[in-house]
Structure 1
Amino acid sequence: MKKIFSTKRSKTPAIVGGGSPALPDTGVPVGTVPYFSAAAPPSLAGTASPSSGLMKPRPIYGSSSPQLTQSAMSGSQAYPTPPTTVSPPAAGSDRLPNPSLFTPAVVSPGLATASIGPTIVTAMAGQAGAVGVAQEAVADADVGSSLGELEGKLSVGIDFGTTFSGVAYGSSRHMGGTVRQILNWPGSYETFRKVPTCIAYYQASPNDKAVVVAWGIEAKAMTLREGFYKIEWFKLFLDPQVLREGRLATSARLPELPHGKQPIDVVTDFLSCLWKYAKERITEEIGSVADLEAADVILTVPAAWDAAGCQIMRQAALSAGLVQSARGGDTKWRERLRIITEPEAAAIHASTLSTLFKLKPSQTFIICDAGGGTVDCATYKLIGQLAQLEIAEMSTRSGANCGSLFLDLRFEQLVKSLLRTHPVHLDAPSLLAFRHSFSECDKLVFAGEADDDTLFRFNCFNIEDSHDPTVRLEYGELVVPGNVLRRDVFDPVVDQVLSLLTHQLSKLPTQRCDALILVGGFASSPYLCQRIQRAFGDKVPIIARPRDTDVATLQGAARYGLSLSKDGGTVSSVISPRSYIMKCKLPASDEDRYQRPGFIVRNDAGVEVCENRLSYLVAKGAVVRKGQQLRSRYCKFSRAPTDCMFTAVLYVSDEDKVYRYTDEGPLEELCRWTVDLSPLPSFQYNASTTTSGGFYTEFTLGLLIDSAEIIGVLVTDEGEEVGRATFEFFGQD
């Protein structure tokens, strides 16, 4: 739902609830605190855990498998074994099929996606002055654990990708600060840096519970029969456009889910399998000192995701048990789960290679994280000394669904177009075989114009009707010229990547930067690198692709956790990607009477107030230092001591302009913000001393923007955090 809103924040805290007698004598002039627009009786919606009773499936280990090969580029895998079939569990049984039934077969995962990382925060700048009514940027002294507790803790990074996922871990005490990856996965004796983001279910009937029967390599290798579901690409369900508009919002084919399963359930089930296996492998590697129950877990998400997608991701991760209360009195265990953006994680990894790129303090670099599903871009600046570098985000991040997966989809569309008069080659097994051949071979080495005259040959799965030169069928092969592949498959996707990079450069004052660092599986594409060099070589002195580019995000996520033991971590500041706004009532000014006379009303105290005013918690583009609370002062009228709750709506805007009124520009409702004032000493005092007629309570709300997530906090007059607000995101049914 879109709404409209506008400029200037006056120096006045806002009030929630209806009008009332007079403001209490708090030392603040009457009417200087913004009033929230009539808050409906608040609900505690959003506090319940998502989908209680979700099955936490166990991973299937140890199936024997033939030799697997790994492409030198991007970590994509090929499984040259004939497919196997699986019998369903006995009726009414939750028993999983025998693991040995899952033999790796033909897999077409495409170029592996490399995830992203966190972003952090420095005091507001630029527009901050225009929006900064009663707003402060305050260092949060109570975020996370103390330095002593953090030192030596295990950090586990999880790159949950569209096509591939991976796990890395490290500990400054037990592993000397080094980062290791899990390389052995169920279903293979070979080593792979990532595992397919794939999960398989069996469901006998729509009324039966869907049972997880395989995940990762084993799920990817399954040949499906009736009642089985192989789910891939389910991360795309959390794309902001899909959350707003549903399945039709993306050109990618969203998978069919078992009856009764929601996207969050599938994410939870996959993370549960991945985490259970990862814990076993990490414990085998470093023993009981791992203390996985108290580990920090860092999940990466695309830069383009909004807070709603991140919240779903957090709910799924908590339901999957990625973090749990480690001991009695551990009230902050949920804070050990951190969600960061993929570019930030990649930037942290790149900072460890700064000498390789010959970067110096004060220089800027762009991270282009080109993965399987998304491509994300962000600009950072090196600050400090080389011995202890920090990274500051320099501009808002950007991202789009134009990863290597979309090459596969465009290739499939090309095949359908060429063979539309030969339907025998368009059934599911045939299309899978064509796509596998493209994804595992030709996509990895395609060189663009140099291959225009090359004929690329793809074997037909069916031997019938296999020769018709008019549609490029020649003796059982589909023959496609390189110039057709470039024009219809590669160029539309690569052009989107170049557009993202152009947009990112345009945000810099000189439209130039010192380095462009390419990471992610898609970054291994020779044609993509060639086009980037051609387009930006005259603007960027260093265009580099580090070794192990497909796991840069994964490595960076684990290093992010290790950096928490330092003062503030590696990334010191982030740019607010959007404006976060609340609607309120403010004392009417002459400007309000002139500009919006229809918004002027008298409250119960007889004071003229202007309705439909906007209070900016933080403006788009503001620089925010990590660990800071962006605070604003508000006021609520309570008619009785039990009237301690209110619910307001948090709005977001992608506009650069700052609005004053709700009807001046487009705003989007992001979430309901439920706040309980009862822990505030001032509320308790007012409630105990007021005999009749109600009372006002002034309070401070703080907003934390930590990379990908937003967190609301309630703060006392002394600056102590006494509660975190509950966000109920719109569109999550």
Structure 2
Amino acid sequence: MKKIFSTKRSKTPAIVGGGSPVLPDTGVPVGTVPYFSAAAPPSLLGTASPASGLMKPRAVYGSPSPQLTQSAMSGSHTYPTPPTTVSPPAAGSDRLPDPSLFTPAVVSPGLATANVGPTIVTAMAGQAGAVGVAQEAVTDADVGSSLGELERKLSVGIDFGTTFSGVAYGSSRHMGGTVRQILNWPGSYETFRKVPTCIAYYQASPHDEAVAVAWGIEAKAMTLREGFYKVEWFKLFLDPQVLREGRLATSVRLPELPRRKQPIDVITDFLSCLWKYAKERITEEIGSVADLEAADVILTVPAAWDAAGCQIMRQAALSAGLVQSARGGDTKWRERLRIITEPEAAAIHASTLSTLFKLKPSQTFIICDAGGGTVDCATYKLIGQLAQLEIAEMSTRSGANCGSLFLDLRFEQLVKSLLHTHPVHLDAPSLLAFRHSFSECDKLVFAGEADDDTLFRFNCFNVEDSHDPTVGLEYGELVVPGSVLRRDVFDPVVDQVLSLLTHQLSKLATQRCDALILVGGFASSPYLCQRIQRALGDKVPIIARPRDTDVATLQGAARYGLSLSKDSGTVSSVISPRSYIMKCKLPASDEDRYQRPGFIVRNDAGVEVCENRLSYLVAKGAVVRKGQQLRSRYCKFSRAPTDCMFTAVLYVSDEDKVYRYTDEGPLEELCRWTVDLSPLPSFQYNASTTPSGGFYTEFTLGLLIDSAEIIGVLVTDEGEEVGRATFEFFGQD
């Protein structure tokens, strides 16, 4: 390979206070907090266990996680007990709905928009994040204007990421509404704002139960031996496409799981370890276990997830004990667990920094949350005054699997293509060494066209067959020109991010976007920021990146919980990302008899109905206020008082067009939902007064669309909630 640029790129970026890599000459942090620096320990050494003859893993330095101190490899075999998996709710009766009455749901009109003020242009923000020796970090946002006075309130935000996860918390009782983070993690004396989303298992044989032996930094650094499994990227199992079509439906390399472990089990185990450690750290800070037991816990999920993924996430979180009953009679303790989208949490955090971005009420901004696995984009508008600020979603959010992890995977493919004639460098340890060097150093400082003539050098793990300049091997190093990295690794992923942003801008039509705020670990990439500035700088006056960009979602999640009681500083309305539809039998009209004569039948009451009609609970793009019930009227025929279960299939559609019949356009079965009508007063009255032969019951179902979840409720004619629907999602094992 011809040597283009003689200067050899240093493999270790500059390190300043606390071990956080920074961009040269800028002081800007260069990515999500690294899980170990150049001074990090080797993985895990071992000591012989006389009772078992095996190795007992131990951390080289730092305090091990308390919940894993009794290793599965110890001679006493006192293993940690894996959490119990919660099964999906039962389907209930197979009876199909037979409603004869239907009232379409009325959705809110589109939010009004206002013209904005003068053009404001600012340079892209980016300053060094705080990584020091303190136990917790306090956000620099204006907490007084966004949180207010809340009594005895504790909120814990958890950003469960594909590659890194973090925990932030706030308490008005103990900390005056400030939001702090956990910075100290098991396995390291250094401080990191996030911990690797990684868990290690030991399974002696395929017939034994796999037991978690390490998590976070300790698991990431572990050297695997026989019987051990290191599981990463398991969040990608909840991608909607994977849930619907299986793991072969995605090009992402999903991790191998121990036998008899399902994705929900792995998520539960990781959350259990994370939560147990977080409770210890938070209790040390606030000194009150009672507040923690009654805390609101906010989990963030990607914008592209559907209700099925959120349901699995909720089941795993409940099994992990993130919330529990705090006192006798606390029947609504499960509701203290909230699941919101990542861009919504980032928007809440950005609203506290609105003065930094020169944003004013009635102005619109786009949040681009570029993380390790996913990139999510959503458009919001500030409503009201900053003292009582609300945020409204302005268009359907979008997301894709194009986070920084996919740079690593594309780099690995590049290495395989360059060295396909040198298989000694393509074994698992070699590929891991190449990928780790790229991920921890060169990926974080790559500057695009400015690095086209730079030669990036990566040490070969194997010393054999170490010199072949024709493929880039030079004396034990793989040499890759920057232009090749840009073309084959960075540009395909960055182009996907730009496509998401362009799509969001196109939804605003004639409305103006006043700011684009970049958050997430991937947002620290200099090349990504350059490309966004170049492509959208003439369309968006402000393109900004807060200095705490990698934890903006985490901070926003904790603020969301603190703002729940006053309903300010949070997203007050959302745009339905999909249409939610039910297949119904509705009274036949002349149009039905003409369009679908084959579906016209008589029901048990002798009324002509059309069997394949659709009932839209909410249409895609509808503006829905948080907590608003989208109600529809139905009717069920019961042959006996015990026939009280109403079961129906809930469909979804990503199409903007509204369909009348089931065979008119693409529909997707989302879940089967079941409602028990027995608590309904009208059902009880009909069951007790109607003679044998059956009876009809009219009832109202309400659909609540929260940030990421859907909730079905049964309400009386007076509007009182008397029951909730249970959901069985399709496509789950």
TM-score (norm 2): 0.81
What SS class does the counterpart of residue 157 from structure 1 fall into? strand
Q: After superposing the two structures, state which structure 1 stretch, 8-17 or 686-695, moved more.
A: 8-17
Q: Spell out, residue by residue over 1:210-266, the C-alpha distance to the aligned partner (whole angstroms, 9 max, x if none).
A: 011000000000000000000000000010111112122222211110011000000
Give the conservation status (yes or no) of the 8 Å contact 2:107–2:624.
no
Q: CA separation of 1:419/1:133 partners in 2, compared to 1, >3 Å: closer, same or farther? A: closer
Displacement, 1:588? 1.4
Shifted more, 381-390 versus 144-153: the winner is 144-153
Tell me: CA distance 1:303–1:82, structure 2 relative to 1, closer, same or farther (3 Å): closer
Deviations 1:105-129 (A, max 9, x none): 9999999999999999999999999
**1:455–1:479 CA contact under 8 A, matched in 2:** yes
Q: Deviations over 1:116-170 (max 9, x none)?
A: 9999999999999999999999999999999999843210000000000000000
Contact 1:402 1:497 (8 Å CA) reproduced: yes
Whether the 8 Å CA contact 1:114–1:550 is kept in 2: the answer is no
Tell me: CA distance 1:251–1:112, structure 2 relative to 1, closer, same or farther (3 Å): farther
- Which moved further from structure 2: 167-176 or 340-349? 167-176
Q: How many residues align?
A: 733
Q: Distance in 1 between matches of 2:60 and 2:29?
A: 66
Q: Could you give the per-residue CA deviations for residues 289-328 of structure 1, whole angstroms, max 9, x where no partner exists?
A: 6621111000000000000000000000001010111111
Deviation at 1:173, TM superposition (A): 2.3
Q: Summarize the alignment of residues 471-482 of structure 1 with structure 2, pairs less than 5 Å apart.
A: 471-482=471-482
Does the CA-based 8 Å contact 2:648-2:672 persist in structure 1?
yes
Residue by residue over 1:648-693, the C-alpha shift from the partner in whole angstroms, topping out at 9 and shown as x without a partner, is 0000011101111111111100000101000001111111111212
Q: CA deviation at 1:17?
A: 69
CA 1:471/1:14 → structure 2, altered by over 3 Å: closer, same or farther? closer
CA contact (8 A) 1:302 1:374 kept: yes
Could you tell which deviates more after superposition, 432-441 or 106-115? 106-115
The answer to which of 649-658 and 599-608 deviates more is 599-608
Change (3 A) 1:258 1:31: closer
Structure 1 residue 604: deviation in Å?
2.7
In structure 2, do the counterparts of structure 1 residues 59 and 360 end up closer, same or farther at CA, with 3 Å as the change threshold?
farther
Change (3 A) 1:139 1:301: closer
Summarize the Cα distance change of 1:728–1:368 in structure 2 as closer, same or farther, 3 Å threshold: same
Aligned counterparts, 1:235-384, within 5 A: 235-288=235-288, 291-384=291-384
| Cross-structure match for 2:599 | 599
- Native 8 Å contact 1:15 1:635 kept in 2: no
Tell me the SS of whatever aligns to 1:131: coil
Q: What is the alpha-carbon distance in structure 1 between the residues aligned to residue 10 and residue 524 of structure 2?
A: 51
Range 514-523 or range 47-56, more displaced:
47-56
- Kindly tell me: are residues 84 and 713 of structure 1, through their superposed partners in 2, closer, same or farther at Cα, counting changes over 3 Å? closer
Q: Deviations over 1:365-408 (max 9, x none)?
A: 00000000000000000110122211000000000000000000
Q: After superposition, what is the alpha-carbon deviation per residue over 1:261-290, rounded to whole angstroms, capped at 9, x for unaligned?
A: 000000000000000000000000110166
In structure 2, the CA distance between the partners of 1:241 and 1:290, relative to structure 1 (3 Å rule), is same
Cα shift readout 1:14-44 (whole Å, capped 9, x = no counterpart): 9999999999999999999999999999999
In structure 2, the CA distance between the partners of 1:151 and 1:655, relative to structure 1 (3 Å rule), is farther
**2:61, 2:189 within 8 Å by CA — same for their partners in 1?**
no
> Residues 68 and 77 of structure 1 are in contact (CA less than 8 Å); yes or no, is this contact kept in structure 2?
no
Query: Over residues 454-482 of structure 1, what are the superposed CA-to-partner deviations in whole Å (9 max), with x where a residue is unaligned?
Result: 11111111111111101110011100000
Give the secondary structure class of the aligned counterpart of 1:272: helix
- Greater shift in the superposed pair: 216-225 or 77-86: 77-86
- 3-state DSSP of counterpart to 2:458: strand
Could you say what secondary structure the match of 1:101 adopts? Answer: coil
Provide the C-alpha distance between the structure 1 equivalents of 2:453 and 2:25, rounded to a whole number of angstroms: 83
CA drift of 1:647 comes to 1.0
Asked if the contact 2:472–2:480 (Cα under 8 Å) also holds between the matched residues in 1, the reply is yes
**Contact 1:473/1:479 (8 A) holds in 2:** yes
Structure 1 pair 7/670, CA: closer, same or farther in 2 (3 Å)?
A: farther
Shift in Å at residue 6 of structure 1?
65
Contact 2:242-2:248 within 8 A present in 1 as well: yes
Decide which moves more: 127-136 or 550-559: 127-136
Query: Displacement, 1:597?
Result: 1.7
Task: State the alpha-carbon separation in 2 of the partners of residues 611 and 136 from structure 1.
Answer: 60
- Cα 1:5–1:77, aligned 2, differ >3 Å: closer, same or farther? farther
| Change beyond 3 A, Cα 1:40–1:493 | closer
Shift of 1:567: 2.9
Q: RMSD of the TM alignment (CA)?
A: 21.0
Deviates more, 1:29-38 or 1:669-678: 29-38
Cα displacement (A) at 1:613: 0.7
- Is contact 2:157-2:298 (8 Å) kept? yes
Bigger drift between 16-25 and 324-333 goes to 16-25
On the 8 A contact 1:705/1:711 being kept in 2, the answer is yes
Q: Retained in 1: the 8 A contact 2:30–2:444?
A: no
- Please identify, of 686-695 and 254-263, the stretch whose mean Cα deviation from structure 2 is larger: 686-695
Displacement after TM superposition at 1:609 (Å): 1.5
Q: Secondary structure at the match of 1:469?
A: coil
What CA deviation, in whole Å up to 9, does each residue of 1:520-574 have, x standing for no partner? Answer: 0000000000000000001000000001100000000000001102136521100
Tell me how far apart the structure 2 counterparts of residues 418 and 78 of structure 1 sit (CA, whole Å): 48
Closer, same or farther in 2 for the Cα pair 1:212/1:690, shift >3 Å? Answer: same
1:179 shift after superposition? 0.2
Is the contact between residue 644 and residue 676 of structure 1 (CA under 8 Å) also seen in structure 2?
Answer: yes
Q: Distance in 2 between matches of 1:190 and 1:134?
A: 10
On the 8 A contact 2:108/2:624 being kept in 1, the answer is no
The superposition leaves residues 47-103 of structure 1 with CA deviations (integer Å, 9 ceiling, x where unpaired) of 999999999999999547999999999999999999999999999999999999999
Q: 1:509 and 1:540, CA in 2 relative to 1: closer, same or farther beyond 3 A?
A: same
Q: Which runs of 5+ in 2 are unaligned?
A: none
Q: Secondary structure in 1 aligned to 2:21?
A: coil
Q: 1:674 to 1:109 in 2, by over 3 A?
A: closer
Comparing both chains, which one has the higher relative contact order based on Cα–Cα distances under 8 Å and sequence gaps of 6 or more?
Answer: 1
Instruction: Tell me the CA shift for residue 182 of structure 1.
Output: 0.3
**Greater Cα offset, 566-575 or 541-550:** 566-575
Seen in structure 2, the aligned counterparts of structure 1 residues 473 and 588 have a Cα distance that, compared at 3 Å, is same
Contact 2:231–2:256 (CA<8 Å) still a contact in 1? yes
CA contact (8 A) 1:164 1:194 kept: yes
Cα pair distance change 1:236/1:185, threshold 3 Å: same
Structure-2 change in CA distance of 1:388 and 1:678 (3 Å) = same
Identify the range of structure 1 (548-557 vs 49-58) with the bigger mean alpha-carbon deviation: 49-58
Of 488-497 and 3-12, the range deviating more from structure 2: 3-12
Work out whether residues 124 and 544 of structure 2, in 8 Å CA contact, stay in contact via their aligned partners in 1.
no
Structure 2: distance between partners of 1:84 and 1:36: 32
Q: Distance in 2 between matches of 1:670 and 1:662?
A: 14
Please say if residues 76 and 112 of structure 1, whose CA atoms lie closer than 8 Å, have aligned partners that are also in contact: no
Question: CA 1:604 to 1:544, structure 2 compared with 1: closer, same or farther past 3 Å?
Answer: same
Kindly tell me: are residues 292 and 394 of structure 1, through their superposed partners in 2, closer, same or farther at Cα, counting changes over 3 Å? same
For the Cα contact (< 8 Å) 2:675–2:725, is it kept in 1? Answer: yes
Q: From the superposition, tell whether residues 449 and 519 of structure 1 become closer, same or farther in structure 2 (CA, over 3 Å).
A: same
**Equivalent residues of 2:63, 2:186 under 8 A apart:** yes
Cα 1:13–1:419, aligned 2, differ >3 Å: closer, same or farther?
closer
**Is the Cα–Cα contact under 8 Å of residues 113 and 161 in structure 1 kept in the other structure?**
no
User: Is residue 535 of structure 2 the alignment partner of residue 532 of structure 1?
Assistant: no
| 1:444-593 equivalence runs, <5 A | 444-510=444-510, 512-567=512-567, 570-593=570-593
**CA displacement at 1:646 relative to structure 2:** 2.0
CA distance in structure 1 between the aligned counterparts of 2:266 and 2:36, rounded to whole angstroms? 38
- Write the distance in 2 (CA, Å) between the matches of 1:105 and 1:116: 33
Cα deviation, 1:690-725, whole Å, max 9, x if unaligned, reads 121211111000000000000000001110001110
- Structure 1 residues 282 and 152, CA gap change in structure 2 (3 angstroms): same
Closer, same or farther in 2 for the Cα pair 1:100/1:664, shift >3 Å? closer
Q: Are the counterparts in 1 of residues 68 and 213 from structure 2 also a CA contact under 8 Å?
A: no
Alignment check: 8 A CA contact 1:460 1:476 kept = yes
Please show how residues 434-449 of structure 1 align to structure 2 within 5 Å. 434-449=434-449
CA 1:60–1:74: 2 relative to 1, 3 Å? closer
